[in-house]
Amino acid sequence: MKKTTLIIVLLGISLFMVFSADIKATTADGRSVILHDNGRWEYAKTGNGNFIGKWALPDNYFDIIIDAALSESGISTYDPNYAFYRAYFQAIMAEEIGTMNFSSLFMLTFNSDGSVNAVINGEENTGSYKVDPTSRLLTIIDYDTNQSLPFGIFDENYSKLSVLGQDWIYLVKQ
């Protein structure tokens, strides 16, 4: 009888531990949260290593630039002339830039050894980088000049890098 009681107690403790464990969940916008057994929740701490790899302008960056320019000009998507202005800007950009692949125009590769390779307009540079874990501020140090430049800020999930404090200039992990 004691053996059965011991098994029931151990089973009860195991079930309590399973059901009282924290649960990791992902929000609709991709951020990780931890749901605690007491009903409290918090954003999950994301390790800095999540940004190691290649980062580039998104494939639809052409449209992002046009939308930002129209918005800055005060032309919203509800404006009856929006489609005309959008097509006009697309034609101008296509004439100026051509069918350039934006992701190859501007690319950063963060290596686990702390070095970074940058390709900007076909020109390659190397340097090192630091990321402040609290602010997620990326600082790049140029090898030639040893100059430290604040470059951008990662979002909470390290899925987007806003460049020079501009929300519409950003890189995404490839």
- Count structural domains, the chain: 2
Task: Give 109-119 pLDDT, tens digit per residue.
Answer: 999 899 999 88
Q: Round to whole Å and give the CA distance between 114 and 37.
A: 38
pLDDT at 8: 52
Asked if residue 17 and residue 62 are part of one domain, the reply reads no
At residue 120, φ and ψ (nearest 5 deg) are: -130, 120
- Reported for 89-97, long-range contacts at CB under 8 A and 24+ positions apart, including other chains, are 90/62, 90/66, 93/62, 93/65, 93/66
Asked if residue 59 and residue 113 are part of one domain, the reply reads yes
Asked if residue 108 and residue 56 are part of one domain, the reply reads yes
pTM above 0.75, yes or no: no
pLDDT at 162: 92
CATH of the domain at 58: 2.40.128
Asked if residue 94 and residue 154 are part of one domain, the reply reads yes
**What is the domain range of residue 8?**
2-43
Q: How many CB atoms lie within 10 A of CB 114?
A: 11
Asked if residue 56 and residue 22 are part of one domain, the reply reads no
Q: Which candidate, 118, 140, 133, places its Cα nearest to that of 49?
A: 133
Asked if residue 156 and residue 96 are part of one domain, the reply reads yes
Asked if residue 29 and residue 79 are part of one domain, the reply reads no
Asked if residue 94 and residue 70 are part of one domain, the reply reads yes
Task: Give 67-108 pLDDT, tens digit per residue.
Answer: 888 888 888 888 888 889 888 887 877 777 665 556 567 889
**Which of the 8 DSSP states describes residue 47?**
P
Asked if residue 92 and residue 29 are part of one domain, the reply reads no
**Which of the 8 DSSP states describes residue 165?**
T
Task: Give 26-58 pLDDT, tens digit per residue.
Answer: 665 555 667 777 878 776 655 556 788 899 888
Asked if residue 66 and residue 13 are part of one domain, the reply reads no
Asked if residue 61 and residue 39 are part of one domain, the reply reads no
Q: How many CB atoms lie within 10 A of CB 61?
A: 21
Asked if residue 112 and residue 58 are part of one domain, the reply reads yes
> What one-letter code names the amino acid at 128?
S
- Dihedral over alpha carbons 146, 169, 95, 86 (to 10 degrees): -170
